[in-house]
Chains A and B, each alone.
Chain A
Amino acid sequence: NFVLTQPHSVSESPGKTVTISCTRSSGSIALNYVQWYQQRPGSSPTIVIYDDDQRPSGVPDRFSASVDPSSNSASLTISGLQTEDEADYYCQSYDSSSFVVFGGGTQLSVL
């Protein structure tokens, strides 16, 4: 099986851009789609990116994502940071058995 590694925390100022990485430990990142979830304090997780780089309706276009096979990682980028973006962000993929694999989560502080 593989592990998805995320930075424990990141912080940035309002209006700036932040990128959160998600590195797959073994096997190609391109093998299975990567999703990103946002979990605000006291709330359930919600999807912000699916299938590597697709944004569900209702998610602001300030959220974007990509996959880089050369670094075997996925990235979530949030531009024009707002205080409401302060949350935990989790990447997620599947293994060869279609088991769900979550990254450890990244706490985003907007200060």
Chain B
Amino acid sequence: SQQGEEDPQALSIQEGENATMNCSYKTSINNLQWYRQNSGRGLVHLILIRSNEREKHSGRLRVTLDTSKKSSSLLITASRAADTASYFCATDGPGGYNKLIFGAGTRLAVHP
């Protein structure tokens, strides 16, 4: 069973717009991570937020975490065509950091 589930499954926007992706999970966590995957490539780590943090920033990325709702959001501001990729959330869940559980991802398309 999947711990993290992203919403929406796909998102299409124009360059310059903001993109927001959401992730929900089922069990308590120590941290939640967001990864990016370009088509046919490996995943690249974007940002990690710990369970005692509510918001974290990295460049054009803003991640929020609401442990009471078991949800997180990833906001990409001023999107660029190069941001086109799939974005996955991953949680450590009951198995700890050795057993990260990934959601199905959000496919983001940014049009010039």
A, B from the same assembly: no
Chain A contacts to B: CB under 8 angstroms: none
List residues of B whose CB falls within 8 A of some A CB: none
